[in-house]
Amino acid sequence: MKKLINHVDTVLVESLDGFAAAHSDIVTLGAARQFVRRRTLKQGKVALISGGGSGHEPLHAGFVGHGMLDAACPGQIFTSPTPDQMLAAAESVDSGAGVLFIVKNYSGDMMNFQMAAEMLERDNATVIINDDVAVENSTYTTGRRGVAGTLLVERIVGAAAELGESLAHLSALGGSVNRCTASMGVALSSCTVPAAGQPTFQIGADEMEMGVGIHGEPGRRRVKMTNAEEIAAELTNNVLKDLSLKRGQEVILLVNGFGGTPLLELYVMVNAVHKILEGVGIRAVRHLTGSYVTSLEMAGCSITVCATDPSMLSLWDSPLHTAALRWGM
Amino acid sequence: MKKLINHVDTVLVESLDGFAAAHSDIVTLGAARQFVRRRTLKQGKVALISGGGSGHEPLHAGFVGHGMLDAACPGQIFTSPTPDQMLAAAESVDSGAGVLFIVKNYSGDMMNFQMAAEMLERDNATVIINDDVAVENSTYTTGRRGVAGTLLVERIVGAAAELGESLAHLSALGGSVNRCTASMGVALSSCTVPAAGQPTFQIGADEMEMGVGIHGEPGRRRVKMTNAEEIAAELTNNVLKDLSLKRGQEVILLVNGFGGTPLLELYVMVNAVHKILEGVGIRAVRHLTGSYVTSLEMAGCSITVCATDPSMLSLWDSPLHTAALRWGM
């Protein structure tokens, strides 16, 4: 295992300190690094809190800031944060309008966020993300997994929160964005969790894991490596089948790298997905291409399609200022 | 070799098409994909043109847009673009105020940009970037190599161009930014050029290449793998030695991933570099952390320090809208 780290036990702490130092205009760390929060809160706004295991950077801490999250709770690598972290974050960022938790559907995250929600003596609601169409039930999940679609929900609901929408409205909007968002990914290599010291899974020199999860958990099947067009076709067709879109539908397209795949290849995938979408009359009107929801250094990518409308696009386009995504300000 | 591609001969073309489709609000492709240019030009502004071998994405095409480049000429992977490409780009984006070429110091790039500059019947000047302190002369270079510091020059000169500064002023500014910018990198793994089909170099499971170039060319020495603090110390101390900064100096710090290193690790490096800078009284007042000047999927990173002053910071902070970097608009 070769990594730019000092010790497996201090990776997360040092990375959070580096993150906070680099983005001190946007964020501060909570006590004992339990959470990353906005430096400046907006009074009267519903507080959006997400979190999950680390190793998926820039998700979630990279999305804390104006127009997206108020706080993110980082667990150890691929490990859920604790209810204590979520409670501390909620106490820190709720300005009285209530707390919306945005939770990826993994058993550990679900259990801990649910405990926090029950213990929290403040108005709160939870949006559960389960955009991964690859498999029903998985290593760490009952039902579908929450993957890169989380970014879309955090962004669109975050934009609406900035406009002063109510907790009930934002909770419903989050559910709605989740339902019109679908993802599927493929891995060409495993990643190595520092504390484990060896690859999460073995994969042959000519194989790929189709439908992989963002912790390297198994997908639909292990298949022979093929070309970008065939990979794009399998991922995109499964995503489109799930969403049942009509011709002429406008979508946001996220081609997401898992951490070890160069941008050069991600744009080859964008090109391939575009041809497929054009072939079925779907119009990608907004694009995001890059490594945003990662699995450490895993090679591979996921395709996320979010069916959109003018009001969602207006939220998407509104001012945003986080460490990882920024526009309009 | 496992990559998200269709054929080694079409990687670049398909990737450029995907890039242009994803960022059609910012860029268009020149005829025969000779260059990527801004969709909308600003009349009377000096045109900034860069380029070089592909495989370093988002450099350079990802930096085309308001506040940075007017055009970028992509060569094949790790291969210089041709003078024809540069001439076509110059004809397309010069609005009468002249052309500034920004060229990384590699023999092929230097020769071809020089030919283009001589053939171009328009006012033009060239800024040469040679920020890599690792080695004098290298596999593809006479003198020092141009690496991640290129981003700093393109950004700061691009901002000044937007304000209407003259060709002579911008040329001098580019030279000045280059002189106060220094970089050094380390590789933990090789990359694989698609057309070659095998890793550019072999490296042991416990080794790293200290001072590596962005094509995997040799650095200062092959050494045993060590921890992030020691790596950060060697890179940062060499960079600081080159710049001879005084205590209290303000700098822009770029911790740049080479493509295969996760953001989690890059922030561990940011934390380590910060401690070193604090120890010698240097203040990092702006940060950029991510994979911006890459070597395909090579694991590793580089540290770039740019000594700055209020006027440079004002340029750095001014509105920017490219595919890879965006703020203030």
DSSP annotation of A62: G
Which candidate in B23, B56, B60, B66 is catalytic?
Answer: B56
Predicted confidence (pLDDT) at residue B327 exceeds the cutoff of 90: yes
Beta strands A326-327 and B47-54, pairing class: unpaired
Which CATH number fits the domain A182-317, given the four candidates 3.10.50.40, 3.40.50.300, 3.30.1180.20, 1.10.4160.10? 3.30.1180.20
CA distance A1 to A194: 8
B56 is catalytic: yes
Task: Report CB contact under 8 Å: B227, A5.
Answer: yes
Radius of gyration from C-alpha coordinates of chain A: 19
pLDDT (mean) for B55-84: 98
pLDDT (mean) for A252-275: 98
DSSP annotation of B69: B
A56 is catalytic: yes
Name the β-bridge partners of B209.
Answer: B187, B222
Which candidate in A56, A60, A169, A274 is catalytic?
Answer: A56
B29 to chain A nearest CA, in Å? Answer: 14
Predicted confidence (pLDDT) at residue B141 exceeds the cutoff of 90: no
Using CB atoms within 10 Å of the CB of residue A166, give its burial: 0 to 12 exposed, 13 to 18 middle, 19+ buried: middle
The pLDDT assigned to B236 comes to: 98
Chain A hits for B4, Cβ within 8 Å: 188, 228, 231, 261, 265-266, 268-269, 300-301
CA distances (Å), B231 to each of A91, A294, B22, B270, in order?
A: 39, 24, 37, 12
Chain B hits for A229, Cβ within 8 Å: 6
Chain B residue closest to A301 (CA)?
B4
Nearest to B54 among A264, A299, A328 (CB): A264
| B185: amino acid identity, one letter | G
Q: Residue B236: which residues within 8 A CB-CB, separation 6 or more? A: B273, B276, B277, B303, B305
CA distance A222 to B140: 41
B311 to chain A nearest CA, in Å? Answer: 20
Task: Report CB contact under 8 Å: B62, A263.
Answer: yes
CA distances (Å), A37 to each of A113, B17, B317, in order?
A: 17, 38, 23
The pLDDT assigned to B140 comes to: 85
Chain A hits for B326, Cβ within 8 Å: 326-327
The model's pTM: 0.98
Name the β-bridge partners of B251.
Answer: B284, B307
Instruction: Say if residues A51 and A83 touch (Cβ distance below 8 Å).
Output: no
Chain A residue closest to B206 (CA)?
A2
Chain A hits for B225, Cβ within 8 Å: 2
pLDDT digits (tens, 9 = 90+) for A168-188: 999 999 999 999 999 999 999
CA distance A267 to A263: 6
Query: Within 13 Å, how many C-alpha atoms sit on residue A183's CB side?
Result: 32
DSSP codes joined into one string, B243-283: HTPPTT-EEEEEEEE-BSS-HHHHHHHHHHHHHHHHHTT-E
Start and end residues for every CATH 3.40.50.10440 domain found in chain A: 13-180
Q: Which of A1, A2, A4 to mutate to test the interface with B (most CBs of B within 10 A)?
A: A4
Nearest to A21 among B263, B274, B328 (CB): B274
pLDDT (mean) for B243-256: 98
pLDDT digits (tens, 9 = 90+) for A319-328: 999 999 999 9
Two tokens, residue A9: 């036990």
pLDDT (mean) for A162-167: 98
Q: Which of A225, A263, A266, A296 to mutate to test the interface with B (most CBs of B within 10 A)?
A: A263
pLDDT (mean) for A292-314: 98
Predicted confidence (pLDDT) at residue B127 exceeds the cutoff of 90: yes
Residue with the two structure tokens 């010790």: A7
Chain A hits for B263, Cβ within 8 Å: 57-58, 62, 259, 291, 294
Please give the ipTM for the structure prediction. 0.98
CATH class of this structure's domain B13-180: alpha beta
Q: Which helix (H) or strand (E) holds B158?
A: helix B149-162
Start and end residues for every CATH 3.30.1180.20 domain found in chain B: 182-317
Nearest to A228 among B6, B227, B264 (CB): B6
A96 to chain B nearest CA, in Å? Answer: 30
Instruction: Say if residues B322 and B68 touch (Cβ distance below 8 Å).
Output: yes
pLDDT digits (tens, 9 = 90+) for A94-128: 999 999 999 999 999 999 999 999 999 999 999 99
pLDDT digits (tens, 9 = 90+) for B305-322: 999 999 999 999 999 999
Chain A hits for B271, Cβ within 8 Å: 14-15, 17-18, 21
CA distance A221 to A235: 13
Residue with the two structure tokens 């090789």: B190
Q: Residue A108: which residues within 8 A CB-CB, separation 6 or more? A: A53, A79, A80, A140
A233: left (phi over 0), alpha (psi -120 to 50) or beta: alpha
Predicted confidence (pLDDT) at residue A140 exceeds the cutoff of 90: no
Predicted confidence (pLDDT) at residue A50 exceeds the cutoff of 90: yes
| B232: amino acid identity, one letter | A
Predicted confidence (pLDDT) at residue A138 exceeds the cutoff of 90: no
> What is the tally of helices (H) and strands (E) in chain A?
8, 15
The pLDDT assigned to A166 comes to: 98
A318: left (phi over 0), alpha (psi -120 to 50) or beta: beta
Task: Report CB contact under 8 Å: A269, B18.
Answer: yes
